Each structure stands twice: as C-alpha cells, then as structure tokens.
C-alpha cells in the first residue's frame, strides 16, 4: 500500500508577516499612477480602480505614488496627501471599498523632485508649461533632469526640512486613514532617488559626494516617517538597484542603503531601477529581480521585486528560489486584474473571492458544485 504524496504548497501563496501585519500571499498590486486626481484629490476613478484590485485576490494593494506636497506631484493630475481635502477625498474612496475587501491596503508616499511638473501620458512629453499649470521643481542642485527639461531649484537646508515635514504630515494622514502599510518612493530619479545617485547629486556639502553623504537626506526622511508611523505597522522603501549607466548606482550601493534602512526599522526593500533620461534599460520579464535577490541575500532583509512579471511559474520560482519575498505586478495587473485568481488556480492554491464573484472561481476550469447550485 502506498501513501499518497501531497503536492508541495505554492511559495507564492504562503502568508508573510511584516510586524503586526500578515499578508495572505506574496502577490502585490504595485502602486500605479492613475493621473486622475484633481488638486491631489482622489476621484471616482480611484474608487473604480482601487475597488477592483481590492477584490483581486492579491495579498496587498499599494495605492499609487502620492505627493507629499503640491510641488511633489509628477503631474498636475497625480494623487496627493498634503491637505485635509486630500485626506477626506481618499477617505471617501477607502470607506466605500473596505466593506467589500479584506485585503491589506498600503500607500506609497513620494516627491517627484526635478522630474515633477510634467505632462500626463497622452498629452505629450516633457515639462508642463507654467501657462498650463506647471510649477517650479526642486532637486539636489539646479541641474535639470535631462536636455530640454527646466532647471530645478536647489534645495537648501530649509527646503529639505520642509520636505521632511511634508513626508511626516502625509504619514500622519495615512495613519488616520487606517492604511496598513506605508512605502517611501526613493527610486526612478525622483527627489530621494536623485539624492542617492551620483548622477543626480553634485552637491558639495554634507548631503553630496560620498555614498554616506548621498544617503543622508533619504535616511532623514525615513527616520521622520518611521517615528510617526505606528510601531506595529510596516514601512518599506522603493529604491534603485541600478541606474543603468556607468558611474551611477550599483547593486552594492543598494545593499549599503538597505543595511542602513534595516538598522532604522525598515521592514522590506522594494527594488526597482532607472531614473536617468540617458538610460538604455534592457527590458524583459524580471529584469530587476537580480537586484532584489542581491539585497535579500547580502543585507538579510525581505525584498519585493517588480518589472514585467506576468508568468505564474516565473513569479512562483522567484519566491521559491529565495530571490524575493514579494512579487509586485503593475502592467500585468492592468492587463489581467484577476491575475492572482488565475495564478492560484495554476499553482494549486486558493485566494479569497467575494461571494458575489464565486460563480467565476474555478478549479482547473471547472466551477465548484456549490457555485453551480447558486443559480
């Protein structure tokens, strides 16, 4: 008589605990800019967008990059969390979504720096003219992001303190909204990213030059956020594993930053890349995963990976092989909002499905008997 051997559990669909928050699985709806806010206020589009992904079966939903001050928005149509009006608008959306979803919801706070004040997709490229609602940008120095970009205003110490206070105040608002997780955006050449990178930071004071100096301001922002964000709630940081340019950030720089963040109470590292107008990025499925793997291995911290990951088996292998602890999908989720359902079915796992959608939940393409009876 032989004993049946059960199939191994899916690594992608195992829970993950971050401080007092337990994620039901390792699939993350990546923060995705929607360019649908008015004066930073969430709109009915956000209700549609966040509502569908909150019942997608993923383990975590992260709200799009949210400006901590008006000048920190990428476009004039980006979400913000600097005012009572912003907070009330997002509260309306969350209060509508939460009764129907058990998924943890986080938010990504950021400042676009010298990459701010640009046209939204579909309106062309480059800076938004002042005549059309554009504004003065800021950066480590007055060096523009790229050719034909407007020169930013170099942040002095008072300006840096203003930005730190803005991150702190947005953090207080995020906590009042009852959000479960907070992520700081320090990637893609935005303000904190430009301080970290030797390509964006040409300062000659204590905030430029050496790696230690270039990390100083982003770490001050993190410290302010971590001090305010409740101790039982996790904080993560998205930052670059590479700038894809000679003389830019490397994997070793990412590890060094991760080590400093870990010592300050950061709970996970979200590895991305890029952020220079000159970068030629070799796009492909999982092209940023090696940086998440390096940081996880060398800094000993949980990591999140992102970057054109669509295949179920690929996502499963990333977690099973210890390359990252969380797999975030942006474009893949836009293409297939039920990605987590389909991945769970393919990998022999289960995800939460709202009772209103049970008829659509299948196993090997066959609906369960109890849903067949619900006619």
Rounded Cα gap, residues 86 and 84, in angstroms: 5
Q: CA–CA separation, 330 vs 312, rounded Å? A: 14
Question: Is 335 one of the catalytic residues?
Answer: no
Q: CA 269 → CA 163, 184, 209, 283, distances in Å? A: 22, 10, 24, 21
Encoded tokens for 57: 């079966």
Active-site hit among 35, 53, 100, 190: 190
The region, left, alpha or beta by phi > 0 then psi within -120 to 50, assigned to residue 262 is alpha
| Whether the Cβ atoms of residue 296 and residue 303 lie closer than 8 Å to each other | yes
Cβ burial of 355 (10 Å; 0-12, 13-18, 19+) is exposed
Ramachandran bin of 365, using left for φ above 0, alpha for ψ from -120 to 50, beta for the remaining angles: left
Using alpha carbons, select from 80, 47, 88, 43 the residue that is nearest to residue 64. Answer: 80
Q: Which two tokens stand for residue 168?
A: 């702190």
Cα–Cα distances in angstroms (integers) from residue 309 to residues 146, 246, 341, 373, in the given order = 29, 26, 16, 36
Contact 348, 336 (CB under 8 A): no
Residues marked as catalytic? 190
């Amino acid at each position: 008589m032989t004993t049946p051997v059960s199939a191994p559990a899916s690594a992608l669909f195992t829970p993950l605990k971050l401080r007092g928050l337990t994620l039901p699985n390792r699939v993350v709806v990546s923060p995705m800019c929607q360019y649908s806010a008015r004066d930073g206020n969430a709109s009915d589009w956000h209700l549609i967008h966040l509502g569908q992904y909150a019942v997608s079966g993923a383990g975590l939903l992260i709200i799009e990059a949210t400006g901590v001050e008006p000048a920190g928005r990428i476009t004039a149509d980006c979400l913000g969390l600097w005012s009572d009006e912003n907070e009330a608008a997002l509260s309306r959306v969350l209060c509508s979504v939460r009764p129907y979803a058990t998924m943890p919801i986080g938010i990504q706070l950021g400042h676009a720096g010298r990459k701010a004040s640009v046209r939204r997709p579909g309106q062309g490229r480059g800076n938004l003219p002042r005549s059309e609602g554009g504004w003065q940008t800021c950066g480590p120095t007055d060096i523009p992001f790229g050719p034909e970009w407007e020169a930013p205003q170099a942040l002095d110490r008072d300006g840096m303190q203003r930005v730190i206070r803005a991150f702190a105040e947005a953090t207080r608002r995020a906590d009042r909204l009852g959000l479960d997780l907070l992520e700081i955006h320090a990637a893609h050449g935005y303000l904190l990213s430009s301080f970290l990178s030797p390509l964006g930071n040409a300062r000659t004071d204590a905030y430029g030059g050496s790696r230690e100096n270039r990390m100083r301001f982003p770490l001050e922002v993190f410290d302010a956020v971590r001090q305010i964000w409740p101790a039982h709630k996790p904080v993560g940081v998205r930052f670059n594993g590479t700038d894809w340019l000679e003389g830019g950030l490397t994997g070793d720089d990412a590890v060094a930053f991760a080590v400093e963040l870990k010592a300050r109470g950061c709970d996970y590292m979200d590895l991305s890349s890029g952020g220079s107008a000159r970068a030629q990025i070799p796009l492909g499925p999982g092209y940023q995963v090696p940086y998440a793997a390096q940081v996880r291995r060398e800094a000993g911290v949980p990591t999140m990976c992102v970057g054109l990951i669509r295949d179920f088996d690929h996502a499963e292998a990333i977690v099973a092989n210890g390359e990252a602890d969380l797999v975030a999908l942006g474009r893949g989720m836009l293409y297939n909002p039920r990605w987590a359902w389909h991945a769970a079915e393919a990998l022999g796992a289960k995800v939460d499905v709202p009772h209103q959608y049970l008829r659509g939940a299948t196993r090997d393409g066959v609906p369960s008997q109890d849903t067949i009876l619900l006619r």
